[in-house]
């Protein structure tokens, strides 16, 4: 049998076809546009997601036996606000995870409603990227659109709805809305009241590996597939990536170097960081996880290489980096504000330590190191909770860079395991589809059978010592400059 995984990313949808043994048969990617109507705003048209997903599926399965396709599932960008009216028409462009317009609403939730109450109701506090503050923003700034809302959904769930006509979400993705009681795996009535909505506007919640329905007759006809092809709930992109890297089971860790960057720590038990510097979410295996998320990771490198250096030759730029641990230039990677652990939407990127002899290579190196240092910020919070992590998987576009992976191994002082496929969320989606179709008895069984480690990068004690000194310097920069950020907005 064949299974389709759909990774609905920020810049493109990636589709992956996997057989019952976990072998990847085909991969297709389709891009769509991202708009920034105002400073700090980030939006997309959900119809673009759907159109490119349909085109991508057609291309993905074109040369395969379509009768063998059994299921389809998803990983998708989290937190985005997608709203439909009573006719199932999109009311306004989706407000994305990296949108920072909701500073006022986030402050209201954290300071008036109170962080303790939010954590009690949802296991998390408010961040500008979360869905609940966006709902409050829409209520205040677009009241006519707010009144039209019939369905509130997340990006991947819009695709699931278009394919199956089932209004659904999953526990991992719902966890990032600030509307979901993570501990008890249900919608929070208190948060629903605070946001001025009703539970009928929210989807039915499934576990990530559960079947929500099958393809509609029209979709099946358009894709030339059987109507009995199952649609499985899927997961938020980081939870899906965790499945695609076998980050399942107590204390297992995955670092994602995608547009955003995350440190994902799986747990069999529910737990909350007392300062809420890390997110406490449901995992797509039916358990839980802690996660630190930075808003700009590989996107920092893309910005630096393409927008500033005006080249597409990533290898040439990164292969010239030589003196690891000795760089005197530092970079704060907060190009879209920052989430974990600072929760500061006004934060912005900056270089510091430049001199007349600073080279292009040192600045490129500083960008990569800045992202790795920021990931360590979340890693340090996890360590403060007594969590011992000796190794991590790694995925995302940045994982393809040997020099970046080496930096992470030494800056975090842990073994980094590269896996056979770095497709993360798309592979995780395909695995969830296979589990939903009973190809495997559990998510853990499927992930452990399919995901294979091909290389382990060990930290070098000499570099670890150098980077320890460098990290302590990096950690002083944000506290020193943070009060300037509001003045620069």
Q: How many CB atoms lie within 10 A of CB 61?
A: 22
Q: Is residue 94 pLDDT above 80, yes or no? A: yes
Q: Annotated active-site positions, please?
A: 237
- Round to whole Å and give the CA distance between 173 and 28: 24
Closest by CA position to 101, among listed 134, 142, 139: 134
**CA separation, residue 318 to residues 315, 405, 438 (Å):** 5, 12, 44
**Residue 273: per-residue pLDDT:** 81
Q: Is residue 40 pLDDT above 90, yes or no? A: no
Closest by CA position to 209, among listed 181, 188, 185, 239: 239
Q: Is residue 421 pLDDT above 90, yes or no? A: no
Q: Under a CB-based contact definition with an 8 Å cutoff, are residues 10 and 77 in contact?
A: yes
Q: Is residue 250 pLDDT above 90, yes or no? A: no
The band of 63, judged by pLDDT with boundaries at 50, 70 and 90, is very high
- Round to whole Å and give the CA distance between 402 and 62: 34
- Determine if the pTM surpasses 0.75: yes
Q: Is residue 422 pLDDT above 80, yes or no? A: no
What 8-state DSSP symbol labels residue 267?
Answer: E
Over residues 119-128, the mean pLDDT reads: 94
**Residue 359: per-residue pLDDT:** 96
What is the rounded average pLDDT for all residues in the chain? Answer: 95
**Residue 115: per-residue pLDDT:** 94
Over residues 262-274, the mean pLDDT reads: 88
Q: Is residue 165 pLDDT above 90, yes or no? A: yes
Q: Is residue 118 pLDDT above 90, yes or no? A: yes
Q: Under a CB-based contact definition with an 8 Å cutoff, are residues 451 and 419 in contact?
A: yes
Measured in whole angstroms, the distance separating CA 190 from the mean position of its chain's CA atoms is 26
- Round to whole Å and give the CA distance between 86 and 149: 7
Phi/psi at 70 (nearest 5 deg)?
Answer: -105, -30
- Round to whole Å and give the CA distance between 20 and 188: 38
Q: Is residue 56 pLDDT above 80, yes or no? A: yes
């Amino acid at each position: 049998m064949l299974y389709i995984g759909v990774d609905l990313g920020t810049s493109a949808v990636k589709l992956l076809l996997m057989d019952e043994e976990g072998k990847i048969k085909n991969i297709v990617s389709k891009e769509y546009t991202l708009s920034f109507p105002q400073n700090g705003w980030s939006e997309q048209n959900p119809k673009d997601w759907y159109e490119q997903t349909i085109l991508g599926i057609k291309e993905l399965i074109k040369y395969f036996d379509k009768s063998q396709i059994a299921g389809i599932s998803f990983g998708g960008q989290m937190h985005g606000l997608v709203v439909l009216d009573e006719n199932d028409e999109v009311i306004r462009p989706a407000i994305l995870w990296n949108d920072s317009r909701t500073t006022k609403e986030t402050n209201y939730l954290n300071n008036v409603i109170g962080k303790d109450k939010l954590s009690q109701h949802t296991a998390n506090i408010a961040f500008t990227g979360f869905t609940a503050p966006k709902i409050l923003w829409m209520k205040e700034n677009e009241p006519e659109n707010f009144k039209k809302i019939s369905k509130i959904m997340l990006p991947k769930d819009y695709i699931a709805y278009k394919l199956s006509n089932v209004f659904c979400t999953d526990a991992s993705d719902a966890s990032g809305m600030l509307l979901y009681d993570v501990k008890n795996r249900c919608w929070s009535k208190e948060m629903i009241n605070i946001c001025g909505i009703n539970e009928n506007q929210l989807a039915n919640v499934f576990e990530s590996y559960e079947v929500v329905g099958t393809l509609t007759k029209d979709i099946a006809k358009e894709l030339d597939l059987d109507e009995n092809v199952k649609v499985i709930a899927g997961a938020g992109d980081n939870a899906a990536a965790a499945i695609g890297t076998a980050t399942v089971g107590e204390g297992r860790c995955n670092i994602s170097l995608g547009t955003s960057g995350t440190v994902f720590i799986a747990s069999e038990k529910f737990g909350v960081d007392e300062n809420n510097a890390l997110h406490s979410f449901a995992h797509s295996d039916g358990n839980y996880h802690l996660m630190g998320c930075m808003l700009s990771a590989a996107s920092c490198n893309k910005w630096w290489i393409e927008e500033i250096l005006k080249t597409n030759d990533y290898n040439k730029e990164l292969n010239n980096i030589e003196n690891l641990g000795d760089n005197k230039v530092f970079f704060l990677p907060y190009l879209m504000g920052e989430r974990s652990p600072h929760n500061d939407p006004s934060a912005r990127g900056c270089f510091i330590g430049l001199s007349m002899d600073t080279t292009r290579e040192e600045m490129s190196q500083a960008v990569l190191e800045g992202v790795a240092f920021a990931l360590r910020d979340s890693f340090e919070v996890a360590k403060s909770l007594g969590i011992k992590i000796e190794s991590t998987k790694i995925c995302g576009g940045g994982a393809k860079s040997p020099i970046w992976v080496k930096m992470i191994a030494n800056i975090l002082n842990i073994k980094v395991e590269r896996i056979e496929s770095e497709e993360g969320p798309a592979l995780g989606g395909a695995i969830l589809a296979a589990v939903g179709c009973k190809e495997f008895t559990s998510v853990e069984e499927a992930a452990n059978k399919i995901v294979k480690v091909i290389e382990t990068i060990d930290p070098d004690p000499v570099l670890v010592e150098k980077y320890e000194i460098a990290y302590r310097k990096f950690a002083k920069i944000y506290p020193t400059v943070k009060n300037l950020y509001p003045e620069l907005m």
